[in-house]
Copies of this chain bind each other. A is one copy, B any other.
Amino acid sequence: MGSITGDMEAQTDYTCTVYRGTFIQTILSDSGSKPELSCNQGALWVSAADGRIKGWDWQANNDHGFAELMTRNGWVDIDDIGAQGQVDSHDSKTRVRIVIASEEQNEFFFPGFIDTHIHAPQYPNVGLFGSSTLLDWLETYTFPVESRFGSPPDPKTGHQTQTDPKDAPLLAQQIYDQVISRTLSHGTTCASYYATNHVPATNALSSLCHTRGQRAFIGRACMDNPKFCVDYYHDFSAEDSIVATRQTIEYIHTLDPEGNLVKPIVTPRFAPSCTRLALQNLGELAASYSPPLHVQTHISENVNELALVKELFPEADSYAAVYDKYKLLTPRTILAHAVHLSADERALIRAREAKISHCPASNSALGSGICPVRTLLDEGITVGLGTDVSGGYSPSILEAARQACLASRLLGQSAAWQRDHSQSVDGKGSDGREKLSVPESLYLATRGGAAVVDMANDLGGFDKGMLWDVQLIRLGGVKLGKKSPLDFVPGDGNADLVKTGPVGNVDLFGTESWEEKIQKWVWSGDDRNVKALWVGGRLVHSRV
């Protein structure tokens, strides 16, 4: 039986990896509307060639059933071959690797998290925002740190003309590397990244994701409106926006021609930071590829921002209509935040099949408000979760799931929600439908995010043919001794339960159902519980 760390290096002497243990995912119930948790025990196998799920056997949930599975398929464990020197006798059999989730340690496989909105260069500012709101936070904290990702200009022309990742400042490379380390450690197998507007640094982020093995969409932030950018950090012109964006797209298409792991995403920062010409050119640029490129931007995060957009684009009926006019509302568009959308905007977004990235930690931290996720879902809009680092203070999608639950539980008491739902509001403020359950927030974190990045058939669950983008979660064992703690003697290291039982902050007492274990994971878990992480079948992170 193989250790999980063995396949950090590429190994191709086996046909597939057989994962054995407990598999938990979110699924839609029979009625098709309400996400639920699903738990299976047994074996599931993933092709070494393409990293996709080829099948499973929930009868193989004990040693006998597992042995039958191995025999039926003519499989032999490569570790058995090595240990017993029986290579010859197994020549006719198919070699497989076996990875086991420990039942005693309460381990289970869970789909990897998808972060549909994260600003990689803002990572050094995580936790720094004082009491500011969106627009002053951008000027005080965000633009200064992002501007440091620029390379020195060409001495002859005074312009940035480099595209080589190695031309990015070393600190920028290191910050991007650390963002990838951190998001992987929290279980993020796929992220849609905002970079800065600098080509070498953006290409460095692409290269690092590709090398480290994280699935990623990489967006060079376009921002050519000098009136609403700071003077030390903006594109020189609408043309510059397009030329530089093309350079990052070409770099990524050369790096990963099939787009197996890393893809470009067209990224107008947000409407106020772009001229009309840039918005138009970016919409045309995305549409000029086949299939069309993904698009990401911000929408309706903050009430001051709404007023600004109205002032800047008086010809548009709404914030969403600005993007629609420039062909930026597409089935492959990720709209971050969407806290204050009107009913008309929601109808337009749904008609265009654009997707929404819900970023609750950021919306609460910046005081932007509470996104009415239930309304979006009821109206058939696709929603995933985003960390929005560093408006969000955490690179963890588990934290985003937790905050999605918390914010939804305060939503019924918000003035905006009560105004919009006056018919269903009783004296208590709401009918409670707006609350997101733990299974729902986990659905948003996995299958929801997969749909947001237009990969609903590839990611987010254990469906046949899906990519093995998966976390191995370890909650730790139950360690209740026979000894009374009242017999404790100071200094004898009594606190065994903390030290040798639980992992991180999750405490199990042996009475929990597996649904309750999942609830404890969501409310008390952290990166310590991510024992291993695979992307496309490749191990990209592990923790002893």
The interface size of chain A toward B, counting residues with CB under 8 Å, comes to 87
Q: Which residue in B171, B185, B427, B435 is a CB contact (below 8 Å) of A480?
A: B171
Q: Which of A369-418 contact B (CB under 8 A)?
A: 369-370, 393-394, 396, 403, 405-407, 409-410, 412-416, 418
Q: Mark A43-59, 1 if CB is under 8 A from B, else 0.
A: 00000000000000000
Q: Report if A94 contacts B (CB, 8 A).
A: no
Q: Which residue in B133, B204, B520 is a CB contact (below 8 Å) of A127?
A: B520
Among listed A66-74, A109-117, A503-511, interface-contacting one: A503-511
Among listed A77-85, A205-213, A244-252, A282-290, interface-contacting one: A205-213
Q: Nearest-CB distance from A163 to chain B (Å)? A: 14
A410-B364, A432-B131 given as contacts; is B178 within 8 A of A490 (CB)? no
- Which of A130, A213, A480, A523: most chain B Cβ within 10 A? A523
Does A491 lie within 8 Å of B177, measured CB to CB?
no
Does B522 lie within 8 Å of A127, measured CB to CB?
yes
Cα distance, A412 to B364, chains bound together (Å): 11
Does A131 lie within 8 Å of B437, measured CB to CB?
yes
A409-B367, A437-B131, A498-B182 given as contacts; is B507 within 8 A of A208 (CB)? no
Q: Report if A128 contacts B (CB, 8 A).
A: yes
Q: Mark A433-448, 1 if CB is under 8 A from B, else 0.
A: 0010110000000000
Q: Report if A227 contacts B (CB, 8 A).
A: no
Does B365 lie within 8 Å of A409, measured CB to CB?
yes
Q: Which of A288-307 contact B (CB under 8 A)?
A: 303-304
Q: Report if A486 contacts B (CB, 8 A).
A: yes
Does A173 lie within 8 Å of B486, measured CB to CB?
yes
Q: Report if A228 contacts B (CB, 8 A).
A: no
Does B488 lie within 8 Å of A211, measured CB to CB?
yes
**Residues of B with C-beta under 8 A to A174:** 480-481, 485, 497
A173-B484, A409-B364 given as contacts; is B211 within 8 A of A524 (CB)? no
Cα distance, A494 to B177, chains bound together (Å): 9
**Residues of B with C-beta under 8 A to A407:** 364, 410
A124-B509, A526-B505, A527-B505 given as contacts; is B488 within 8 A of A208 (CB)? yes
Cα distance, A405 to B132, chains bound together (Å): 12
Q: Which of A1-40 contact B (CB under 8 A)?
A: 8-10
Q: Which of A416-460 contact B (CB under 8 A)?
A: 416, 418, 427-429, 432, 435, 437-438
Does B208 lie within 8 Å of A520, measured CB to CB?
no
Q: Which residue in B208, B366, B511, B523 is a CB contact (below 8 Å) of A409?
A: B366
Does A128 lie within 8 Å of B410, measured CB to CB?
no
- Which of A127, A131, A409, A491: most chain B Cβ within 10 A? A127
Q: Which residue in B185, B393, B414, B437 is a CB contact (below 8 Å) of A130?
A: B437
Q: Which residue in B414, B482, B519 is a CB contact (below 8 Å) of A414?
A: B414
A409 to chain B: closest residue by CB: B367
Does B429 lie within 8 Å of A415, measured CB to CB?
yes
Q: Which of A453-503 contact B (CB under 8 A)?
A: 480-482, 484-486, 488, 490-491, 494-495, 497-498
A395 to chain B: closest residue by CB: B505
Q: Report if A166 contacts B (CB, 8 A).
A: yes
Q: Which of A220-278 contact B (CB under 8 A)?
A: none
**Residues of B with C-beta under 8 A to A413:** 367, 369-370, 414-416
Q: Which residue in B8, B123, B370, B523 is a CB contact (below 8 Å) of A393?
A: B523
Does A369 lie within 8 Å of B410, measured CB to CB?
yes
A307 to chain B: closest residue by CB: B427
Q: Nearest-CB distance from A136 to chain B (Å)? A: 11
Q: Nearest-CB distance from A512 to chain B (Å)? A: 8
A130-B437, A519-B128 given as contacts; is B412 within 8 A of A123 (CB)? no
Q: Report if A181 contacts B (CB, 8 A).
A: yes
Interface, chain A (partner B; CB < 8 A): 8-10, 123-124, 126-128, 130-131, 133, 165-166, 170-171, 173-178, 181-182, 185, 204, 207-208, 211-213, 303-304, 364-367, 369-370, 393-394, 396, 403, 405-407, 409-410, 412-416, 418, 427-429, 432, 435, 437-438, 480-482, 484-486, 488, 490-491, 494-495, 497-498, 505, 507, 509, 511-512, 516, 519-524, 526-527
A-B contact pairs, 22 of them (CB 8 A): A8-B491, A124-B509, A126-B520, A127-B521, A131-B409, A173-B485, A177-B485, A178-B497, A182-B507, A185-B498, A303-B428, A304-B428, A364-B409, A367-B413, A369-B413, A393-B523, A393-B524, A394-B505, A394-B523, A396-B505, A413-B416, A415-B418
